[in-house]
Amino acid sequence: MSVVKGSTKVCGDPTLLPTRVVGGTTTAINEYPWQCGLTSKTTSTNPFCGCSIVNNRYIVTAAHCVDGSSPNSFTVAVGSTDITSGTTRIGVSSITVHENYNNRNLRNDIAVLELASPLTFSDTVMPVCAPDTSNDFVGETATATGWGTLASGGRQPSILQEVDLPVISNSQCASAYNFNIPNVMICATDAGKDTCQVG
């Protein structure tokens, strides 16, 4: 299924109906066509951080993934949730880290990367939708995706993983973690589950 308005693909609409593996951790191929992965040019083809496609020239990722790095030190993998098959790798021409990013408390942990060449949108490559900024999403379920290890010290999977997490209020989060959560962030947590260790 591909959702199309005229000749323009709609952001945030997966191209395939999800076929989830029992346990809900492995994604279907192309279930998240806006998902991309940052890969090192020198050390590994596995993504070290996830990213999302904003438009055909820009992606967004966490600032802690790229802060202090040169744009030519990594590529962006797009086009498949299986990192070993069907991905296209594109260079990065510039990195813009949020001007108020703080690497000690990870506030404003966001960066925008300009791609060296434009993406061509298709059923496997399309932009993500921006969230409704007036909604705090408390009580809703958030889906986190990534290629992180499935257990501490384990190997990275080649296929994108997903985990559903309940969104709690920032005050609940601050009490649980003894850490002030600013209102520009959301807190989604569940015992034994996160984007690096899905369990």
**Regarding the domain with residue range 4-18+32-115, which homologous superfamily does it belong to in the CATH classification?**
Trypsin-like serine proteases (2.40.10.10)
Amino acid at 119: L
pLDDT of 138 reads 93
How big is the chain, counted in residues? 199
CA atoms within 13 A on the CB side of 104: 1
Sole residue written with tokens 């030190």: 73
Cα(21)–Cα(27) distance, integer angstroms: 8
Per-residue pLDDT of the chain (199 residues; tens, 9 = 90+): 223 333 345 677 665 444 332 233 777 767 899 999 999 988 878 899 999 999 999 999 999 999 999 999 999 999 998 888 889 999 999 999 999 999 988 889 999 999 999 999 999 999 999 888 888 899 999 888 888 877 777 778 888 988 888 999 989 988 888 878 888 888 887 766 655 443 3
Q: Could you state, in order of their start, the residue ranges of all structural domains in the chain?
A: 4-18+32-115
Q: Name, in order, each residue with C-beta under 8 angstroms of 72's C-beta and a sequence gap of 6 or more.
A: 41, 91, 92
Of the candidates 187, 164, 130, 197, the residue with the CA atom closest to the CA atom of residue 20 = 164
Please tell me the pTM assigned to this model: 0.83
